[in-house]
Structure 1
Amino acid sequence: MQETTYDIGGTKIYAAETGVGPPLLLLHGGGPGASGVSNYARNIAELAEEYRVIVPDLPGYGRSTKGIDGSDPFGYLANRIRGLLDELGLDKAHLVGNSYGGAAALRLALDTPGRVDRMVLMGPGGVGTTRALPTPGLNCLLNYYTGDGPSRRKLERFIRNYLVFNAADVPESAIEERYQASIDPEVIAAPPLQRPSGRGALRTLWKMDFTRDARLSRLPVPTLVLWGAQDKVNRPSGGRMLAERMPNCDLYQVANTGHWVQFERAQLFNRMCAGFLAGRR
């Protein structure tokens, strides 16, 4: 796997790349200690049989620059991923986004639909998450760096109780790897996923809520939404809302699955993702 760090307007973005074929970016979720390769550990090799798979660490995570623009998080991420496409010399690419990465993909598609070929979203953020009280899982995620600060116990509780449907699916080694990444001093100093606060907090929440974006009903990008029926982080009802609002959106609700569809149901995900992006039904 080729590894490169790109400079996108002063933001360093690390990306791993493998495979040959149409370009496909995999955008990871925003849980503590997340990174691109770890998020898609069960998907990269199989998708690379058909696609040029590019897996960045989003700003704030992994080996990329820490800290983001908290006044418009999804817009900031979308701008940096678009800059990565420019740096790679790609006019257009497929996007796959999980949770936080799904929100980044959707925002990029809304801002510049001509840059996105097809898109797969798994439990994307910003879909009804700001209009009601946060789910227990989202609360657990947002509280990770508050109170008594990060701990392995807090991270394990989030992953086993809220991220997945079957807690036994996640090995201890994966939790330890994410915990060590989550306590990087640069991350602790500027956690990438926080509750908006202070002046402008309401405006930030509005920017992070796609249900308020009229462009959603005009988005031409063919989209597949995969949502775990037992998702405790982002409500599965968000999937139905996207399918009703977006003109070219297919929805597949995955039984006995939580927030991490690509990990918990890897075989199903890999097959559906590869087929949809290639235009196969």
Structure 2
Amino acid sequence: MSNPEIAKSIKTGSYNTNYHDLGEGEVILFIHGSGPGVSAYANWRLSMPVLAEKFRVIAPDMVGFGYSDRPEDITYSMDIWVEQAIDLMDALNIKKFNIVGNSFGGGLAISLAIKYPERLNKIVLMGAMGVEFEITAGLDQAWGYTPSIENMKSLLDTFAYSRVLVTDELAQMRYEASIRPGFQESFGSMFPAPRQSSVSAMASNEEDIKKIDKDVLIIHGRDDKVIPFENSIRLHNLITKSQLHGFGECGHWSQIEHKDRFNKLLVEFFSEK
């Protein structure tokens, strides 16, 4: 049986990136979060086909995650992931693109907007990092994950507002992804204790964030236990051309917990001229 998480492969810098490439038209780059067992497919499987009806959707596994390479000599950092995103777009000969960033990916989208403003059109930040905050118990639990099916079920309970979405099948899929060879070694090296320093490493300077002059749609679950809803309020206050959409009865996974509304928001936002 083929694995839907494995798609195309392309050389980015000195390593290979696994990426999904669907649809045609204006380009939207989707960046996943940083939970254990994550991949672009696991994160965006309910959004990619819908957005690909009108746009070209590109969703990579960031280096160290999913089915992209895990180089032995790498020190993971926001700079590494930002360069990978730009290298990927360069390799695909894409000059300008929109971006959707979830959690860690939101922090990365903010870094990209600051470092490469000329490359970006519109930005969607979902449950985003990118500002300083006191690490939550939920984020500490995610980054401190050690593999077991019980730990994964507990973690997914933290991520989602409703147990209905957190099926045993989903827990099994993410658990199996988290025990693939080399995964725990790379994941464990990304966010070492004390993990507050990793929150800081994902944060951009607020004065730089204020200078972002793109149209930005900020989406957050009001009941998020991983990344505080207050983060998005702060980002909304910092970014002049931003709009904020909060989902009630929603945890850290707006794109799964409120998938139809989430996808509709994105289609409308990216369709507006």
Q: Structure 1: where are the runs of 5+ without partners?
A: none
Question: Structure 2 matches for 1:70-85, cutoff 5 A?
Answer: 70=76, 73-85=77-89
Q: Is the 8 A contact 2:123 2:214 kept in 1?
A: yes
Give TM-score scaled by structure 2 length. Answer: 0.91
- 1:172 and 2:168 correspond: yes
Distance 1:179 1:206, change over 3 A: closer
CA distance in 1, matches of 2:131, 2:154: 24
Pick aligned residue for 1:186 from 161, 182, 185: 182
Amino acid of the residue matched to residue 243 of structure 2?
D
Q: Is the 8 A contact 2:129 2:231 kept in 1?
A: no
Residues 118-140 of structure 1: CA distance to partner in whole angstroms, max 9, x if unpaired?
011111123233xx2x2121111
Partner of 2:154: 157
SS state of the match for residue 26, structure 1? strand
Distance 1:184 1:223, change over 3 A: same
SS state of the match for residue 182, structure 2? helix
Offset of residue 11 of structure 1: 2.1
Pick aligned residue for 1:92 from 92, 96, 101: 96
CA distance in 2, matches of 1:106, 1:43: 21
| RMSD, matched Cα | 2.0
Pick aligned residue for 1:208 from 202, 224, 231: 202
- 1:219 and 2:215 correspond: no
Q: Is the 8 A contact 1:30 1:193 kept in 2?
A: no
Partner of 1:16: 20
Residues 148-195 of structure 1: CA distance to partner in whole angstroms, max 9, x if unpaired?
xx11111110011x1110011122222111111111221122216413
Partner of 2:66: 62
Runs of 4+ with deviation above 4 angstroms:
none
- Which range moved further: 2-11 or 240-249? 2-11
The number of aligned residues is: 266
Q: Percent of aligned positions with the same letter in both sequences?
A: 27
Q: Is the 8 A contact 1:196 1:205 kept in 2?
A: no
Residues 84-114 of structure 1: CA distance to partner in whole angstroms, max 9, x if unpaired?
0101101111101111111111111111111
Q: Is the 8 A contact 1:123 1:239 kept in 2?
A: yes
CA distance in 2, matches of 1:69, 1:220: 31
Pick aligned residue for 2:55 from 41, 47, 51: 51
Residues 39-84 of structure 1: CA distance to partner in whole angstroms, max 9, x if unpaired?
11111111111111111111111110126534xx222211100110
CA distance in 1, matches of 2:69, 2:139: 24
Offset of residue 197 of structure 1: 5.8
Give TM-score scaled by structure 1 length. Answer: 0.89
Amino acid of the residue matched to residue 253 of structure 2?
W
- 1:243 and 2:247 correspond: no
CA distance in 2, matches of 1:53, 1:274: 12
SS state of the match for residue 25, structure 1? strand
Q: Structure 2: where are the runs of 5+ without partners?
A: none
- 1:255 and 2:248 correspond: yes
SS state of the match for residue 157, structure 1? helix
